[in-house]
Chain A
Amino acid sequence: MLKDFFNWLGDLPPLLQVPVVILAFLAAVGLLLFFLEVAPRRGRGYTIMRVAVAVLVPAFVLFAFGSVWWAIAIGALAGGAMFLLDYRSRAGTGYVLQLVGFLAPALFLLVIGLIYPSIATIFQAFQSSRGRWVGLENFAWIFSQPDNLVTIRNTIIWVLVVPIISTIAGLAYAVFIDKSRGEKYFKILVFMPMAISFVGASIIWRFIYGYREAGQSQYGLLNQIVVWFGGTPVNWLQQAPLNTFLLIVVLIWVQTGFAMVVLSAAIKGVPTEQIEAAQLDGTNAWQRFLNVTVPGIRSSLVVVLTTISIASLKVFDIVRTMGTAYPDTDVIANEMVTLAQNFETGRSAAFAVLLFILVLPIVIYNARVIKKQREIR
C-alpha cells in the first residue's frame, strides 16, 4: 500500500513529486486533526466513530506497511483495547485518543529511527564484532590505545572551544549591530557560512590553509600572508596540535551565524522598559548588557550553547573532508564511522556509548532547566 503509493510517486517527474507528497502528507494530518477535534464529543454517533477510528487506524497502518493478516488483527485488537481504556478514562472520554493522536506520529518515528538503533548500539558496545559478549573489552581497547586518547582529547577540545567562542562572537556581533543602520546586511555577512555545506566549506578553507613549498606561488591566503611578512610557508594542517584548532575555526565560522541570528532575535525580545529603567538608574552600557540583557536572553543562551555543543560533539563532515590526510585530527564521531566501515562494530559502538556519556552533563543541565520552567508555570 504505502510502498505502492511511493512507487507511483516515484514515477512522476521529480519536481512534481514535491507538491504531491506534501499535499498527501498535509491531508493525512488534516484528517487526524479533524478526528482530534471531534474525539471528546458526546453522543452515540461519536462513540461509534471513536470505535471505528481506534480499531481501523492501527489496522490500516499495518496494512499499509504490507503486514500479514495476523499482525493487522493484533493491531485492531490493540486499538480496541485503547478505545475501552479511553472510554473509561478518568480525564474524560477522548482523552487517551487525543493524546495518542498528537504524540504517536513523532514517537513512532523516534522509536524506529533513534531509540531502537541506540539500544542496539549499547548492546553492541559489549559485544565483539562477531556478536560474542566480551564485557568491557571494547572500552579497555579504547583507553589502551594512545591514538584513541588523542581522539577523545580532540573531541573534548571541540566541545569546549566551539560553543563558547561562537556564542561569544555571535552575541557580541548581535549586540553591536543591534538597531544599527544596515543591520540586515551585517547579519547576512555573518550568516552566510550557515548557508554553505561542509563540503563547500572544505573547498573554501582549502584556499586559506593551502600550502606549497617555499619559492612557489602560494594559493592559501594564510601562507601568502606569511610570505608577505618574509616568513617561510608552513604546512598548517600538518602541525599536530595546531591543526585541530584550525579545523575548529571552520566550525566556529559556521556556527557563529546560528548563534548570532537566534540571540539577535532574543535581544529584541528584551522589554525596552527594563533597559530604560536601568538607563535612568545611571548604569553604563556594559552594566546594562550584563544585568538586563543577559538575564533577559538566558534561556536563548542555553539553547544556543546546547545546540552548538551537540553539533560539535557530532562533528564529522569537517574532519572527514579536511582532516583525514593529516595527523591527530580525529574525533570520536569520525572514528566511529571509520571503525564501522572496517566492520569493527563493537569498538565503533563503544565509542558511541562514550559520546553519550560525554554529552550527559549537557542533557542533565537542560533537564533541570526544563523542570524549573515547568515549576514556574
Chain B
Amino acid sequence: MTSTIPADLPLPGAKTTQGAVERADEGNITRRSKRRLTSRGATIASLVIAILWTIPTFGLFVTSLRPQEEITRSGWWEVFLRWDLTLENYQTVLANEDLSRSFINSIVITLPATVAPLVVAALAAYAFAWIDFKGKNTLFILVFALQIVPIQMTLVPLLTLFFRGLHTAGGTLFEGFQGAGIYTQVWIAHTIFALPLAIFLLHNFISEIPGEVIEAARVDGAGHGQIFLRIVLPLTVPAIASFAIFQFLWVWNDLLVALIFASGEASPITRTLAELTGQFGRTAYLLPAGAFIAMIVPLIVFFALQRYFVRGLLAGSTKG
C-alpha cells in the first residue's frame, strides 16, 4: 500500500497479463514490459475518446493564439487555411493588472485552502477509523451526508457570521472577521466545504491500514499522536496527495465561493475571467488567452503529483 511507483516504471506482472494477440509482436518491445493496447477496437475507442475530449480545449488554444479580428471573423479551424498566429493576446493579458493580480490571489487562496482541510480531515478520519466510541457509525454517516448540502444554502448564514460575528444578549461570542485580512474568509469557507468529502475519502484509506500495524505500535508504547504522525500519515501519503490534487483543482477553479467570500481585491482568476466574460464584446478576444493561463497551474500540479495516482488510491481497496 505504501508503494508509490512512478507511472512509467515497468511494473512487475505487466507482461504476464498480456493476451495471446499481443504476444505476436512482443519481439519488437522485448526491452520494455509494456504492451500495446488490448486490441484494435480498444485502440480505436481510446483514440476516439482522447480526440473528442481534446478538441474543445485545442480549439480554445488555437483561438487564444489568433489575432483579434480573426477571432471575431471566423471559426478557429480556418487557421489551417490561413496560418496567422500571434502571442499578442497573451502579452495583453499578462500586462493587464487585474488578471495578473488575480493570478497571485488564486495562488494565495488555493495553497492554504488545500493544506488546512486535508490536515483537519486526516485527524477526524483517524478518529473515525481507529478510536472506538459510541455512535461512531451514525456520526460518520452524518458527516458523509453533509456532502449533499448545497454550498449555495450555507453562504448567507456563513457570510453573516463572518461579517457580523456572533452576539448574544450578554455580549460578543465571536467578533467576526471584518477587516481581518482579505483572504481569511475564503480560506475558512473552502476548508469547511471540503471537509465532508475529504473525511470520507481519507477514512476509506486510513481504515484499510492493517490493524496489526497499529496494534504493534501501541504495544511499543506509542500514543495516538505518534501513531498518527509516524504510521498513519506516511502510509496515507498517496491518498493525501491524490486528494490534494483534486482539492487544489476544485479550489483553483471555484467561482461560487469566490463570488461570495472574496472581496474585489482578493478575487481569484476565475472571478476576474467571469467578469471579463460579462463585458462580452470589447475584451472578449482576451478570454481564451486568460482561460489558458488559468489552466497552466492546475496542469503543472497534476504533472508533478501524477505518480501518486498510480497505486491503491482513494478508496482503492480491493475488498468490499
Contact = CB atoms under 8 A, between A and B. Distances in A.
Contact of A366 (B131, B144, B318): B144
B1 to A, nearest CB: 9
A158 to B, nearest CB: 13
Contacts of A372: 320
B19 A218 contact: no
A190 B50 contact: yes
A189 B48 CA distance: 12
Interface stretch (A112-120, A129-137, A142-150, A234-242): A112-120
Contacts of A376: 319-320
A180 B50 contact: no
A74 B199 CA distance: 30
A98 interface: yes
A279 B157 CA distance: 58
Contacts of A184: 7-8, 306
Interface string B67-108: 000000111111000000000000000000000000011011
A219 B75 contact: yes
Nearest to B132: A91
A196 B316 contact: no
Given A6-B184, A207-B60, A336-B150, A265 B311 contact: yes
A106 B121 contact: yes
A81 interface: no
Contact of A18 (B59, B107, B173, B288): B107
B213 interface: no
A105 B124 contact: yes
Contacts of B309: 261, 264-265
Contacts of A314: 148, 150-151
B115 A25 contact: yes
A363 interface: yes
A179 B17 contact: yes
Interface string A183-215: 110111111111111111011110110000000
Contacts of A264: 309
Contacts of A66: 165, 172, 174-175
A102 B151 CA distance: 25
A67 B246 CA distance: 36
Nearest to B39: A285
B241 to A, nearest CB: 11
A117 B149 contact: yes
A144 to B, nearest CB: 23
Interface in B286-302: 287-288, 291, 294-295, 298-299, 302
A25 B112 contact: yes
A316 B317 contact: no
A91 to B, nearest CB: 8
B123 A269 contact: no
B17 A272 contact: yes
Contacts of B182: 10
A29 interface: yes
A276 B17 contact: yes
B291 A203 contact: yes
A3 B180 contact: yes
B56 A371 contact: no
Interface string B107-124: 110011001100111011
Most chain B CB atoms below 10 A, which of A22, A169, A299, A352: A299
A160 interface: no
A300 B57 CA distance: 28
Size class of the B contact interface (CB-based, 8 Å):
35 or more
Q: Dominant SS at the A interface?
A: helix
A221 B225 CA distance: 57
B150 A176 contact: no
Contacts of A313: 148, 150
B320 A120 contact: no
Most chain B CB atoms below 10 A, which of A199, A257, A270: A199
A265 B314 contact: yes
Nearest to B185: A6
A258 B236 CA distance: 20
By Cβ-Cβ distance, the 10 closest A-B pairs, closest first, are A37-B225, A10-B181, A113-B192, A66-B175, A68-B171, A197-B253, A102-B127, A195-B298, A106-B124, A117-B154
Interface of B: 7-8, 11, 13-14, 16-17, 19, 29, 32, 34-39, 42-43, 45-46, 49-50, 53-57, 59-60, 63, 73-78, 104-105, 107-108, 111-112, 115-116, 119-121, 123-124, 126-127, 131-133, 137, 140-141, 143-154, 156-158, 161, 165, 170-177, 179-184, 187-189, 191-193, 195-197, 199, 201, 204, 207, 211, 222-226, 228-229, 242, 246, 249, 252-256, 270, 273-274, 277, 287-288, 291, 294-295, 298-299, 302-303, 306, 309-320
Interface of A: 2-4, 6-7, 9-10, 14-15, 17-18, 21-22, 25-26, 29, 32-41, 62, 65-68, 70-71, 91, 98-99, 101-103, 105-107, 109-110, 112-118, 120-121, 169, 172-173, 175-177, 179-181, 183-184, 186-200, 202-205, 207-208, 217-221, 224, 253, 256-258, 261-262, 264-266, 268-272, 275-276, 279, 285, 296-300, 303, 307, 310, 313-314, 316-317, 321, 333, 336-337, 340, 348-349, 352, 355-356, 359, 362-363, 366-367, 369-374, 376-377
